[in-house]
Structure 1
Amino acid sequence: MDVLDILDRLVAFPSIAGKPNADIAGWIEAHLAKHAAQIALLPGPEGDRFNLFATIGPAGVPGYVLSGHMDVVPASEPQWSSDPFTLRREGERLYGRGTTDMKGFLAAALAALPVLAKLRLARPIHVAFSYDEEIGCRGVPHLIARLPELCAKPLGVIVGEPSGMRAVRGHKGKAAARITIHGRPGHSSRPDLGRNAIHGMAETLGAVVSEAERLTHGPFDAAFEPPYSSLQAGVIKGGQSVNIIPDICTLDLEARAIPGVDPASLLAPVRARAETHATDGFRLEWTPLSAYPALSLPRNARLAALLQELTGQAPLAAVSYGTEAGLYQAAGLDAIICGPGDIARAHKPDEYILANELVACQQMIEALGAHCAA
């Protein structure tokens, strides 16, 4: 199967994040079995979701990991021009959910397997495909924890998120949480008998706004846009009717942190402010939603030099979006981003990737194989 055939099969699996993924993981496992020396299908604690890890070449020698995620965001938008889970080609454009983010990279890696398998690899190339990346990188930590039993410590990890096939050395970290305030319902004519949960959230929301403003004053990292950490309230919900005292209000917030700043620490002042209201007749719940650390690979890292050699372009310092690369780096492994497609096409109707981008990615992976065979 060529890269377009493989992408067609991958897109056909509606592998929405947070749902079972045995079908797509099983198909990839069967495809890998034709070429990989070792394959491990790794169930997560949910019981119905799986990570995949496979090795081409000698597993006991340090090599390189090709990392990607099998899940995609939902495709319920009415603006799709065709079935989002049926690959549609118009010229160079290949439309479908996940084509860019990031089944295109998966397809290129799988299409390169026959070439890699024929090489006498002195260093292995591993394939690591995860689940539930799109809802907070929930699957890959379980895969990373198993790496010591699966292979020698890798020399580096290439995370194939869409970057226009230009390597990227850094991204911000992220932490997100949900605050729920419980009050007491009642008729709006007797506010003295109830506890208005929306009113109870007001000071907490104010804390988000003031903390967000404070972060604009630094610390700074010029590699990013904006060059400072950020905080925002993303979703707020509460109330049923204007004449009912709302008894519950929820607020979803997220922080994005420059390297060197713990993203969870940016949420702490908001949580502290919210907890002061628990003594005012309200009940508070704090629910973490997602978290991953920043990525910061040094300019002079050997992995950065390798990707410059493979792509012909100097790596970019940083991008605004986040990836699993920070989690690999936190586990002590050098990691870098490099994959086909443009992040601006992801998470929207009529997502697409270009056929020549897939070819360029496959050629890069095959060039990595030649490097490992040298």
Structure 2
Amino acid sequence: MPLPSIKDQFAALIATPSVSCTQPHWDQSNRAVIELLAAWLGDLGFTCEIQEVSPGKANLLATYGSGPGGLVLAGHSDTVPFDAALWQSDPLRLSEQDDRWVGLGVCDMKGFFPLVIEAVRGLIDQPFKQPLLILATCDEESSMAGARALADAGRPIGRAAVIGEPTGLKPVRLHKGVMMDRIDILGQSGHSSDPTLGRSALEAMHDAMGVLRSLRGQWQAEYNNPQFSVPQPTLNLGCIHGGDNPNRICGQCSLEFDLRPLPGMDPEVLRAAIRSKLQPLAEQHRVQIDYAPLFAEVPPFEQGADSELVRLAEKLTGHVAQSVAFGTEAPYFQRLGCETIVLGPGDIDCAHQPGEFLELARIEPMLGILRQLIQHYCLKSQGA
């Protein structure tokens, strides 16, 4: 069967749901996406290995050529949840609007894989002196479980790694860390006509959110790094769940939030500060407060400005490598010995939004960059 066109690959991937989410009712398997990619890359001659991470969740390691060194082109196969009612088109159907392809994952970041396949298919008949590894991970949008599994396995994967997250065709060598934490408050339900019959978890959570907002202001006054477009640490109150009826005192409430520390901010010190503020609230409201990470934190990332990969990416793109406020899987690839950058064609401003898009004008420039990266790391002798 002939390999589908680049547009048909985009369409097939967008039409294959693979949401990862901290909320179980949203969370989905990514196996169908992994199997699509494995079929296409297998037809091109890649050796495909599917790494089971957890039930329904898997990574794909597709290798062309052999030996040490080489290039890793990496991305995640999952997407965030979506609000279908807020989209002007079907989020799971690729559409073209105003010289853009629109659909869930075109930018962040299923669309990177058809671009990689298109770039390599024109070079596949040349002798590869170093291997090319195309890597698709699971659960980047939630737990980073796929990248963690790779790092924990400890197997060297390449000399250089490029992660195709949306950076507007500009190389990124620096980003913040990511912490996702949860506060659970257990009070006592009761009839709303008499406040003494219960202990409101929702009112206690209101004060807990005030604590988090106060700490956010304190940290933003204390920490600043001008290398970032958002130079302060951020704290986002992401989702809250509690109670069941207006005429019942709320007996249970949960909050999940996201904290993005700058390099130099210790996650455990930040968590200790939060705990110290929550304990008095528990006593004041006579409730139980449990606070813990949802997942292990993602470390901050920095690749040296003078590294071979950064210098090459700056030459190919015409842009000095920069920093971003969002987190990626880059620190895990560094743990495996790869020089690592983040470089992709999309715009982060439209990621996680209704109407997510990829500018068609970005496709050819990205293909050119990918082909030159493959030529440098795979078709030339190592060190050339």
The TM-score, its normalising length taken from structure 2, stands at 0.88
Gaps of 5+ in 2: 21-26
Moved more, 117-126 or 233-242: 233-242
Cα distance between partner residues in 1 of 2:136 and 2:283: 46
Which residue among 125, 135, 143 is the counterpart of 1:128? Answer: 135
1:341 equivalenced with 2:349 (yes/no): no
Q: Answer whether contact 2:228 2:325 (CA < 8 A) is retained.
A: yes
3-state SS of paired residue (1:169): strand
Partner of 1:304: 310
Which residue among 7, 13, 17 is the counterpart of 2:16? Answer: 13
Partner of 1:80: 87
Moved more, 15-24 or 323-332: 323-332
Displacement of 1:100 in angstroms is 0.8
Partner of 1:93: 100
Displacement of 1:353 in angstroms is 1.0
Which residue identity is paired with 2:312? L
Q: How does 1:314-353 map to 2 (within 5 A)?
A: 314-316=320-322, 318-353=323-358
Which residue among 340, 359, 363 is the counterpart of 2:368? Answer: 363
Partner of 1:110: 117
Q: How does 1:157-196 map to 2 (within 5 A)?
A: 157-196=161-200
Change (3 A) 1:218 1:77: same
Which residue identity is paired with 2:41? L
Q: How does 1:205-244 map to 2 (within 5 A)?
A: 205-244=209-248
Change (3 A) 1:208 1:86: same
1:67 equivalenced with 2:74 (yes/no): yes
Displacement of 1:202 in angstroms is 4.4
Cα distance between partner residues in 2 of 1:312 and 1:332: 26
Moved more, 212-221 or 193-202: 193-202
Count of residue correspondences: 368
Change (3 A) 1:253 1:361: same
Moved more, 8-17 or 227-236: 227-236
1:32 equivalenced with 2:44 (yes/no): no
3-state SS of paired residue (2:215): helix
Displacement of 1:209 in angstroms is 2.0
3-state SS of paired residue (1:270): helix
Cα distance between partner residues in 1 of 2:337 and 2:264: 15
Cα distance between partner residues in 1 of 2:222 and 2:123: 46
Partner of 1:282: 287
3-state SS of paired residue (2:324): coil
Partner of 2:252: 248
Q: Answer whether contact 1:112 1:362 (CA < 8 A) is retained.
A: yes
Task: Report % sequence identity.
Answer: 31
Displacement of 1:189 in angstroms is 4.0
3-state SS of paired residue (1:102): coil
Q: How does 1:146-161 map to 2 (within 5 A)?
A: 146=153, 148=155, 152-161=156-165
3-state SS of paired residue (2:222): coil
Q: Answer whether contact 1:216 1:229 (CA < 8 A) is retained.
A: yes
Moved more, 172-181 or 18-27: 18-27
Cα distance between partner residues in 2 of 1:293 and 1:213: 22
Cα deviation digits, residues 5-42 of structure 1 (max 9, x gap) = 32122112122223112211111111111234422111
Which residue identity is paired with 2:141? E
Q: Answer whether contact 1:6 1:111 (CA < 8 A) is retained.
A: no
Displacement of 1:262 in angstroms is 3.2
Q: Answer whether contact 1:10 1:103 (CA < 8 A) is retained.
A: yes
Q: Answer whether contact 2:53 2:145 (CA < 8 A) is retained.
A: no
CA-based RMSD of the aligned residues comes to: 2.2
Cα distance between partner residues in 2 of 1:333 and 1:265: 29
Displacement of 1:102 in angstroms is 0.8
Q: How does 1:49-64 map to 2 (within 5 A)?
A: 49-58=57-66, 60-64=67-71
3-state SS of paired residue (2:110): helix
The TM-score, its normalising length taken from structure 1, stands at 0.90
Cα distance between partner residues in 2 of 1:50 and 1:227: 35
Q: Answer whether contact 2:133 2:157 (CA < 8 A) is retained.
A: no
Cα distance between partner residues in 1 of 2:290 and 2:127: 56
Partner of 1:48: 56
Displacement of 1:125 in angstroms is 1.7
